[in-house]
Amino acid sequence: MGKKAKSKSDVRAAKKAAILGNDKKNRLPLILVLCAVVIAGAGVYLMLNKGGGNAVSVESKVSAEKAGDQMSYPVSMFADGRARHFELKHANLTIRYFILKSSDGVIRAAFDACDVCWPAGKGYYQDDDVMVCRNCGRRFASVLVNEVQGGCNPAPLKRSLQGEKVVILAQDILEGKQYFDFTGKAQS
């Protein structure tokens, strides 16, 4: 009988501790869940901000009248298949674009904007062989950049190869200024 009474008192003590919250719970699962949430949050942050650190500013006082002005880049700069982001500052606008060598070996160029998501001003980042819209998350194969236009596809930018240089006319870059003029954009 002593054993039975003892076990009832142990059960009561355990219930009391559970109700009062002073029992010795294993906190390891809670700690693991919190760590997983922090790591996942950091991963999402890095994914959304991926590619922003490789922007190269191209300073130029180019006007549409100076159609002969051009930007040129060594072909070797794109040999690794990574997209390089550039900017052309004109008047009060900064026009962003990127150049990459796609998986089929073609060097391609596009504005860092599209017909749909441009008002968000977020552009694209590269994830392996695709460019990803930072606003809506749509993915575009590198081989389609500068081939497919409209919708959320990166807006094509004319480029040419002249020897070992990728050449883009400043006039062609200025053609994309509507994607970077946020003065008339509705504020949300």
Enumerate residue ranges in the chain where pLDDT < 50. 50-67, 186-188
Does the predicted model carry a pTM greater than 0.85?
A: no
Which residue range forms the structural domain that includes residue 144? 55-179
Q: State the sign of the Cα–Cα–Cα–Cα dihedral 112, 92, 158, 52.
A: negative
Q: Considering the domain boundaries, does residue 73 fall inside one?
A: yes
What total of structural domains would you count in the chain?
1
Q: What is the pLDDT of residue 8?
A: 78
Q: Considering the domain boundaries, does residue 29 fall inside one?
A: no
pLDDT tens figures, 136-157: 999 999 999 988 888 889 999 9
Q: What is the pLDDT of residue 64?
A: 28
Q: Considering the domain boundaries, does residue 17 fall inside one?
A: no
Q: Considering the domain boundaries, does residue 35 fall inside one?
A: no
Q: Containing H/E element for 81?
A: none
Q: Considering the domain boundaries, does residue 45 fall inside one?
A: no
Q: Considering the domain boundaries, does residue 38 fall inside one?
A: no
Q: Considering the domain boundaries, does residue 169 fall inside one?
A: yes
- The CB density around residue 8, as the number of other CB atoms within 10 Å, is 10
DSSP-assigned beta bridge partners for residue 156: 110
Q: Considering the domain boundaries, does residue 167 fall inside one?
A: yes
Q: What is the pLDDT of residue 124?
A: 95
Q: What is the pLDDT of residue 182?
A: 83
CA distances from 144 to 48, 153, 157, 169 (A): 22, 9, 13, 21
- Assign residue 167 the CATH number of its domain: 2.102.10.10
